[in-house]
Structure 1
Amino acid sequence: QHIGAYNVTLKDGRHITFLDTPGHEAFTAMRARGAKVTDLCIIIVAADDNVMPQTVEAINHASAAGVPIVFAINKIDKPTANPDKIKEELAGMNYLVEERGGKYQSQDISAKKGLGVEELMEKVLLEAEMLELRANPNRNAVGSIIESSLDKGRGYVATVLVQNGTLRVGDIILAGTHFGKIKAMFNERNQRIKEAGPSEPALILGLNGAPTAGDTFNVMEAESEAREIANKREQLQRMQGLMTQKHVTLDEIGRRIAIGSFKELNIIVKGDVDGSVEAMSGSLIKLSKETVQVNVIHAAVGQISESDVLLAAASNAIIVGFQVRPSAAARKVAEKEEIEIRLYSIIYDAINDIKDAIEGMLEPVMKEEIVASVEVLEIFRISKVGTVAGCVVREGKLQRSTPIRVIRDGIVIYTGKLGSLKRFKDDVKEVTVGQDCGLNIESFNDIRQGDIVEGYEQVEVKRK
């Protein structure tokens, strides 16, 4: 549910950079940003489905940004696939594909079986040639921030797409209200790189904050100049924020109280990357109704901290975390202050839960209960098995069949199940508090020392 950026080399040596944006309609802003930074859009529609509202929205974004569109009709290997029906629906929206006498290129593909993908690339490159895209690599870099997050080991990390010039390690960069000197750069495969040219994505370290996805970045000559501009922008932003704060007027509250009991639902949103936080906040605010006002009082990137819990206590709010976890201190304060922390890994679940809470649909609900917390102390790499982690159980009881998550610095990096669970040399069904154990996780080998493996289960809870 993030914008991903990938650089692909084709057989003839030409390069294409893909920005992959999520399809769900909560991610409008992400898709709008994707359309703004691209030279060309591939709109993927499933051949066994209809043209969905979010597809229409993506087409509108591309049209509004003046970006040429190529349609890819996917899943043609399915027996229920009907690509002609999709083309008819597109024609009904004034998007005539070439085979029907229109100007839009279209290709039937099966991503699963690899059918038609090369032909699709040919069509994309043909469109690109007609656009005559040019950039000058011998100048200071300019481009866009695609995504940003806070990584505990590396600090603030931003994914950028260079649109002109060449970005190098050591450059002083200004993005929105943040700036910094680039300490290191990585490509999307996490290999270190020294520079990134036009149309190349890169992961950069060294900024002093997480810039907003969609911000333009510029390379500056001096750090003092970058700092000054960043500070001025921050001041302006603060002033605009104060001017546009939307408070419910007394008349409005009076009117709502006359209708029935007026309630306010305050929410604090924390997420692993800026795009998700923005999508989540936007979707939750939209849930406001006549009698219930939903306010997102704070939204930020990073793990749930003690100050978030204290803010929630002061403003009577609940905390919604997306792919993040509370720190140990935050969890203790939350228990003491009786603050509800809701953790989600799927954005729609959060939206539906808040919606149900507002509408008062209180049927039994499946609640996630954390049953075990296991700390990784040592790592062993065994040739036929993969990575085995030597761990100690800090809390609860971990069973061999329990689904697990791997958490690094308060952020969920993998969800799956155990491949094996051993004590000394023996396979065991469960391990309890204080016991050492060796475990290996199915199809995941990037486990590191200090990671926490969390066991959880779904429990049915009667709603009060």
Structure 2
Amino acid sequence: MSKTRVYKLAQKLGISSKELIEQMETLGINVNNHMSTLEDDEAKLVFELLGSADEKDNSINREEEENCMPKIMISEKISVQDLSKLINKTSAEVITKLIQIGVMATINQEIDFDVAELIALEFGYEVEKEVSNDDNEDSLLEVEVDDPNDLQPRPPIVTVMGHVDHGKTSLLDAIRQTNVTAKEAGGITQHIGASEVHINGKKIVFLDTPGHEAFTSMRARGAQVTDISIIVVAADDGIMPQTIEAINHSKAANVPIIVAINKIDKPNINVDRVKQELADQGLLVEDWGGDVISVPVSALKGQNIDTLLEMVLLVAEMEELKANPNRKAVGTVIEAQLDKGRGPVATVLVQNGTLKVGDSIVAGIGHGKVRAMINHLGKRIKEATPSTPVEILGLSDVPQSGDQFVVVENDKLARSIADKRKEKLREEQMKATQKVSLDELFKQMEKGELKELNIVVKGDVQGSVQAVKQSLEKLTNDEVAVKVIHAGVGAITESDIMLASASNAIIIGFNVRPVTSAQSLAEKEKVDVRTYRIIYKAIEDIQAAMKGMLDPEYIEEELGKAEIRAVFKISGAGTIAGCYVTQGKIVRNAKVRLVRDGIVIHDGNLSSLKRFKDDAKEVAYGYECGMSIENFNDLKEGDIIEAYTMKEIERK
């Protein structure tokens, strides 16, 4: 059913939008403003009730007059300056009209089509919506569907992840060493970003940028590169925090997992304990009736390395990894850099089709012809088939890791698409990235944009983390499912921020704080980080946000941070901390929080602030000072004191 804007109906009736809204209210029809829409039958009813006979007759004439008005074409969005040029008016005149209808905009600010149409009509111009040809350009880049008969098996692409010191690098070295001694055809050479391994005449590609940070940052840009994830667990150490993170990242990307239980050559190991811990994380190994393959290996002794590789090939066979080599190439940029001698250099992974020297390609904001290709052996090649990592030269700009590259018809089309992407990137940088936040949660639910609320939970102890996780998951309702994608112990790190960014999640911290680098990354990635000291407060906030009933709140405004360099115990005065201000400033009447190893130990008030022997109102960055905290003496060297104030704001 078609709809009519209030301001358009007012024009037909020959009255102002304000008058029409007032008259409609007397008829019991409530609308918010002149931009509100009425159903077609509702608009006809209002026209019949409020319009005089002359107006009804003249409305036809007015429509004819409108058809005689000069026409202009406007896209979905247009800047105030561009609109003023189109209608031959000054920017000041257009801004004045915008203010009259309640829209505040500057000369360079963009307004949407509806507002622009209203302003143009006010100045006697008819408006038509311009159909953007961006979609036509993008359709040329859409990956065409291959005929199943053209598909051929391709080598699997594997990422190795796990906890620090559990043997990820040793395992990769052992895999390469085993295959070198076996003298398989092709040899093994470390390549920038990826390496190739040959076993039983088949090829496996290992991404040499493992670790969940790289894994997630690529997925954050929409690149699904990895086919199989190998999680390395030390038999003598078991599941550790980074192992859990690696498992959660693999699950979030929906990638098959193979568990390599490493260090089986050590004495007094307990493989069953590792399998039990894996089961606790939702990974039930095949020995225990599950579907996750686990292989006990020793990277040091080279035990069962061939078995692990055979399992990778088995999973690849089960996944039926196929590609069509007889088509234009499509793939992903693994790494890219600007080389002084060679210009932009990109390491790409061909995922479908065959990439040839001389092909015109688009990679992110870069375009150009492939001038040269260098394979994993450092040799120049003329073509690269699916699952082949190669270094390419000839791009105009350096693309980002995770960008897709596509071969197109010619240079002209490649340049056109790359230019449009640059323009879009500039526009996106000018606007704030719309991430899900508690404040906007209800609005997104209402619009139907949000069906699943992803949450990352971090806490000080495992018990609290599990309690928060279970309580949050119980909040699931008919409109939105609450899903905890990762729960862990310790401070909020950059890895948590990247996972939240990739999965559009909110981070809930219980008795923990983000590290400084994570805080700045959260601001850059526009990730909503909420920290709480009371569990039910976190539950209440999310519950209220889901109902669109968040109360006005107090938010904390961080003033500064100081590191305790020395501790002095003075009789009668308690414990005094000798501090160095590392960020911002410390103010005498501020509230303070004592953080030790990322965990909040105490939250209270500052009782004194001194510079040498004198009282100080505030101490700025780079200066030393003495501090004491009200009713708290458990101070240690290396602790961080965060000063903040509470500021009342109204939620949007």
What's the TM-score bracket when you normalise by the shorter of the two chains?
Answer: 0.5 to 0.7
Alignment of 1:416-427 (within 5 A): none
Residue 353 of structure 2 corresponds to which residue in structure 1?
165
Q: Which has the larger radius of gyration?
A: 2
Shift of 1:293: 7.4
- Match of 2:419? 231
Partners of 1:46 and 1:31 in 2: how far apart?
A: 27
| Residue of structure 2 aligned with 1:44, choices 216, 228, 232 | 232
1:361 aligns with 2:563: yes
Aligned partners of 2:211, 2:289: CA distance in 1, in Å? 28
SS of structure 1 residue aligned to 2:204: strand
The answer as to 2:278 corresponding to 1:97 is no
Conserved in 1, the CA contact under 8 Å of 2:285 and 2:293? yes
SS in 2 for 1:157: strand
Structure 1 residue aligned with 2:295: 107
Partner of 1:5: 194
What does residue 119 of structure 1 align with?
307
Q: CA-to-partner distance for each residue in 1:419-441, whole Å, 9 max, x for gaps?
A: xxxxxxxxxxxxxxxxxxxxxxx
- Structure number with the higher helix fraction is 2
What is the Cα deviation at residue 214 of structure 1? 1.0
CA distance in 2, matches of 1:66, 1:197: 25
1:192 aligns with 2:380: yes
Pairing partner for 1:182 from 370, 388, 394? 370
Cα distance in 2 for partners of 1:151, 1:83 equals 47
Matched, 1:23 2:211: yes
Q: Counting strand residues as a fraction of each chain, which structure ranks higher?
A: 1
TM-score, scaled to structure 2: 0.38
Q: Structure 1 counterpart of 2:197, which letter?
A: V
Amino acid at match of 2:419: N
Q: Distance in 2 between matches of 1:280 and 1:463?
A: 32
CA distance in 1, matches of 2:514, 2:225: 32
Structure 2 stretches of 5 or more lacking a match? 1-168, 170-190, 435-493, 502-506, 508-512, 526-559, 567-621, 625-652
Deviations 1:331-376 (A, max 9, x none): xxxxxxxxxxxxxxxxxxxxxxxxxxx7432659xxxxxxxxxxxx
**Contact (CA 8 Å) 1:362, 1:463: kept in 2 or not?**
no
Cα gap change, 1:134 to 1:229, in 2 (>3 Å): same
SS class of match (1:138): coil
Distance of 1:172 and 1:231 partners within structure 2: 15
CA distance in 2: counterparts of 1:27 and 1:134, whole angstroms: 22
TM-score norm. by structure 1 comes to 0.52
Q: CA RMSD in A?
A: 3.8
Q: Report the 3-state secondary structure (helix = DSSP H, G, I; strand = E; otherwise coil) of the residue aligned with 2:284.
A: coil
Which residue of structure 2 aligns with residue 139 of structure 1?
327
TM-superposed CA distance for 1:27, in Å, is 6.6
Contact 1:172/1:182 (<8 A) preserved: yes
SS in structure 2 at match of 1:146: strand
Q: Equivalents in 2 of 1:68, 1:84: separation in Å?
A: 22
The CA distance in 1 between the partners of 2:287 and 2:277, in whole Å, is 14
Of the structure 1 ranges 193-202 and 25-34, higher mean CA displacement relative to structure 2 is found in 25-34
Contact 1:3 1:30 in 2 (8 A): no
In the alignment of these two chains, the number of paired residues is 276
Whole-Å Cα distance in 2 between the matches of residues 279 and 92 of structure 1?
A: 22
Q: By how many angstroms is 1:124 displaced?
A: 1.1
Partner of 2:610: none
What amino acid maps onto 1:360 in structure 2? A
Deviation (angstroms), 1:100: 0.8
Distance 1:149 1:244, change over 3 A: same
Hey, what does 1:75 align to over in structure 2?
263
CA contact (8 A) 1:143 1:217 kept: yes
Identity among equivalent positions (%) equals 53
Contact residue 169 and residue 194 of structure 1 kept, 8 A: yes
Structure 2 CA distance for partners of 1:125 and 1:463, relative to 1, 3 Å: farther
Give structure 1 stretches of 5+ with no counterpart. 247-277, 300-357, 365-461
Distance in 2 between residues matched to 1:31 and 1:105, nearest whole Å: 24
* Equivalent residue, structure 2, for 1:149: 337
Equivalent residue runs for 1:376-391 within 5 Å: none
Tell me the secondary structure at the aligned position of residue 360 of structure 1.
strand
Alignment of 1:301-312 (within 5 A): none
Distance 1:157 1:81, change over 3 A: farther
Amino acid in structure 2 at the alignment position of 1:175: A
Q: What is the letter of the counterpart of residue 252 of structure 2? A: A
Query: Kindly tell me: are residues 35 and 20 of structure 1, through their superposed partners in 2, closer, same or farther at Cα, counting changes over 3 Å?
Result: farther
